[in-house]
Structure 1
Amino acid sequence: MRETLVEDEAAQGGLAVRESAAHLAALVEGSDDAIISKTLDGTITSWNPAAERMFGYRADEIVGRSILTLIPEERRSEETAIIERVRAGERVPPFETVRRRKDGSLVDLSITVSPVRRADGTIIGASKIARDISERKAVEAQLARQAERLTHLNRAALLVSQDLDLERIVQAVTDIATELSGARFGAFFYNVLGDEGESYLLFSLSGAPREAFERFGMPRNTAVFDPTFRGAGTIRSDDIRKDPRYGLSAPHHGMPEGHLPVVSYLAVPVISRSGAVLGGLFFGHDEPAMFNAEVEELVEAVAAQAAVAMDNAHLHEAARVEIAARVKAEEELQLTLAEMRHRVKNTLAMVQAIAAQTFRETSATERQSFEARVRALSDAHDLLTERHWGTVSAGEMIERALHASDKMKPGRISLAGPDAEVPASRALLAAMALHELGTNAVKYGALSGDAGTVAVEWDMVKESGRDRLRLRWSEQGGPPVSPPARTGFGTRMLERALRGQGGSAAIEFRPEGVCCTLELPA
C-alpha cells in the first residue's frame, strides 16, 4: 500500500514537471521578445519564433552556430564580459546595445542575460532575452535631432540678431546653413543697392575658397537658378544633372569646366518682409541624395532668420545714409547762413558808410539815430540767421531788441508773456518797432529820467481763426506826455511796415506815459 502511494506521488510529480515545462515552452514560443539559449562557449542551442522575426534567421539556420554571428565586430567585447559574469553565477541586468540581422542591418535591443544550471547547480550556459527598442530609439533620436536643430537655429538667430553689418550677417548665415545642411560647400548670392541706386550681386562662401567661384562670374537667371532668384520656392534635387532644367543655357550647358562638382543640390530664396527677393542660399555635394526634407526645413528656417536680419541691416544702413545726408545738408545750410550773415553785415556797413557821407551836413543826433536803427536791423538779422530764418521765440526776440535800452537803464524794463514762436519776417518788424519805442523812451519818455519804467507784455490771440501776436508797450513814471506836433520817421515806418504785413500799430500818448499796442500775424 505504501509503495503504491509513493508511486502515485512520483507520477503526480512527473506530471507537474511536464506541465510546467509545457507552460514554459508555450511562453517561450509565444513571447514577443527573442529568447535565445547558448553554451558557455557561445554556441546557440535554442531559438524562439520571436528571435526568427527579429533577426531573420530560422532556427535550423542559426542553432549550432556562434552567438557572435549576431554581434557586430566592434561590440564583441560585450560578449566576453557577459560570459565572465555568467560563469560567476551573476545575472546581467538589462543593457542597451546593437545586434546585426541576417540582412546585415542593425537593430537596437535591450538584453537581459541569466545563467543556465543543471539540477546539481553547475552552470552550463546562458539564456538571453532581447527586446526590440528600435521605435523608442528612433523617437529619442528624433527628439535629439530636434533639440540639436533648435540649438543651431537659436545660435543662428543670436548671431544674426546681434549684428547690423550686412557682410558679416551673410557670412554667418552661409557658414551656419552649410554646417546644418551637411553640404560640401554653400554660397549666398545676395542683392545690394549702391549709393547711386544701382543694384548688383555679391556673394559669400563656406567650405570653398573664393577663387573657386570668382573666375566663373555671377550666376545668371538660367532655368535652374531662375526660380530661386524670383523667390518661387525651394529647389532640392538628389542629382541636379538629371533635372530637366539642367544644361539648357549656353555657353556651358551645365557646369563649366573646373567648377566644384555638384550632384546633390539645394537652393532656398531669401525673401524680405516686403516680398522682395534679397538673394538665395545655394548648397552642393559631390554625392547624390545628401539633402532630405528635414535639411530643407532647417535651411528654410535659417533663410527666414537671414531675411529679418538683412531687412534690419538695410534699415540701419538707410538710416545711416539719411543721417549723413542730413548732417551734410545742415553743414551746407550753416555755411550758406554764415555767408548770408556776412553779406548782410557788409551791406549794412556799406549803408552806414553811405549814410555817413550823405548825412555829413546833418546833426550828429540824426546820424546816430540812423546808425542805431541800422545796428538794430543787423542784430535782428543775427537772431533770425541763428534760427535759420524759420521761427523765433517771441521772448528772445523782444529781449534782444531791447538789449541796448536795458543796458543803458538796467532793471527798468519788465517782460512778461508766453514762449510763443513768431515767423522770421514778422519778428524782424517787431524787433525794429521795439527798437524805435526803446530809443524814444530813453530820449524822451519813461527811461529818460531816474524813476520811470517800461512794461512789455505779449500774448497769442485768435482772430478769424488765425493766430496773432499781440504786444503791449506801457510807460510810467517819466515826464508828462503830450501828443507830438508831427509824426516822426520811426512812427511812420512802424505803421506802414506793419500794415504791409497784415499787422497794425496803435500809439497812445497818455499823460502818464506812452502806450503802444502792436499786432502781427503769427
Structure 2
Amino acid sequence: MKEVSDSPGKTPVSATPSGAPPSSAAGMPALSSEALLAAVVENSDDAIIAKTLDSVVMSWNKGAERLFGWTADEMIGQSIRRLIPDERQAEEDAILLQILDGKRVSALHTVRLRKTGAPVRVSVTVSPVRDESGTIIGASKIARDVGALETARQQLAESEKRFKMLADNISQLAWIADKEGWKFWYNQRWFDYTGTTLDEMKGWGWEKVHHPDHVDRVVKRLKHSWDTGEIWEDTFPLRGRDGQFRWFLSRASPIRDEAGEIACWFGTNTDINDQRAQAESIETLLNEVNHRSKNMLTLIQSLARRSAPGNDEFLKRFVRRLDALAANQDLLVRRAWTSISLRELIAAQLSFALDIAESKLAYDGPEIEISARAAETLGMALHELATNALKYGALSNVKGHVRVSWDNSDGMFTIRWQEFGGPPVSEPARVGFGTSVICDIPRAALDAESELEFASMGASWHLTCASQSVVSGIV
C-alpha cells in the first residue's frame, strides 16, 4: 500500500494526485489536501485503521489508541487479529473475502479486545482500498464503541419483551391510542377474542366489533374523553370470533408526558358477561323472595284481623308496621341488599306522613350510604316516630312541625328527630312496643345510644353510634 507518511508512528494515508490546491478558511492556516485528510483522520473520535490484505496494520490513529489501548508504535506492523477474540477469528476471514471481492462490510456489530484483554462492543465498517490502477491493495477500517448503545438496545428489547409478555397475558383486552384517539396497538387477547387483525382494527376499525345498538353511544362518550382528557368508562357488548356478543366493562386513561400533555391513551376491556348474568339471576331471585315475603306479610295482616276483631286501633298500627317492613325490603331489593341512601330510606319510610303533613315534616343531612342492617333498624324507628307524631305529637295539629337531621363526622354517626309546636306531651305511663322499636332495638342492633325525650317544646329522639355501625363500607 502506497503511503504518504514515512515517519514511524505517524498516520499514513493513501496517496492523492499531486498539485492539488491548498485549502484555507478564516482563522485556519492553508493546508494541502493530504495534510488536511491526515489531520481529520488523526483527530477523529472513531478508530480509523488501515491494514494489508493479510491483516497487518499499516496505520493507527488516536481514536484507535483511545478505543483499544494500544499505541500506534505497538500496533503498526502487527496483525489486526490480536484485537479479535479467538471465537471470532472467522469474522476476519469473512471480512477479507468480501474485501477481495470488492465489497464493503457495513456496520458489523461485534466484540473486540482492549489491550487489557477486556472486551469492547464495536460497530465496524471495512472498505477496500485500491491503488491508482484500481487494484485492491488493502482495507480501511472504522470502529466505533457501541457498548452503551448496545446496552440501551438490550434494555429496550428486554423492556419490550416484558411489556409484550405482560400485555398479552393479562385477562383483559388492551389497546393504545394516540392523543387524538387513533388506536394503533392491541394486545394478543384482543385478537384472540375478536378474531381480527391489526390492519382491520387500527384507527376506528374497532367499531366493526361493537353491537350496532350501542356503538353510537360508545363513540360519542369516547370522543368526549378524547376532547376533554377525562378518564373514560363504559359498559357495552363486543362481538367475538364466534359471532356472539359478550358484555365488557371498559376503561381508558390518558398517559401524559413530562409537560403534562396527553401523549397517548391506554385502555382495557374486562369481560363481565358472566358477572352480569349472575347479577341478573340474583336480582330475579331477590325479587321473587321479596314478592313471597310481601305475600307472607299480607297473610299475617289477614290473620291479625281475624285474631283481633273489633280492635281497629291495634290493627292500624300493626298493619302500618308491616308496611314499613315491606318498604324497607323493597328498597334493599332494589339495591341488591347491599346499601341504600339514608335520604332515600327516610323518604320511603315517611312517605305516608309526608302525604298528610307535607312541608310540616322536613329532613336534611349529608349524603350517606348505610348498611342493610342499619336501614332495617332506623327505618322502623323513623316509621314509629312518624306514626306517633301524627296521632299524638307535632303532626297532629296545624301549628306543629318536625325536623329530622343527621351527621357523620369524626367517626360518629348521629340522627335526631325533633318535634315543635305540637300539643303538650308527657312521658307515657308504660313502655310499649313502639318504645322498644325506637330505643331498645337500635341500642342492641347498632350498639348505639338511643334516647327518647318528652320536653315541653315537643318529643325528641336522638341516636349516636360509631359510624362503622351504620355507614356502609366502613370496617
TM range (shorter): 0.3 to 0.5
Name the TM-score, length of structure 2 as normaliser.
0.45
Name the TM-score, length of structure 1 as normaliser.
0.41
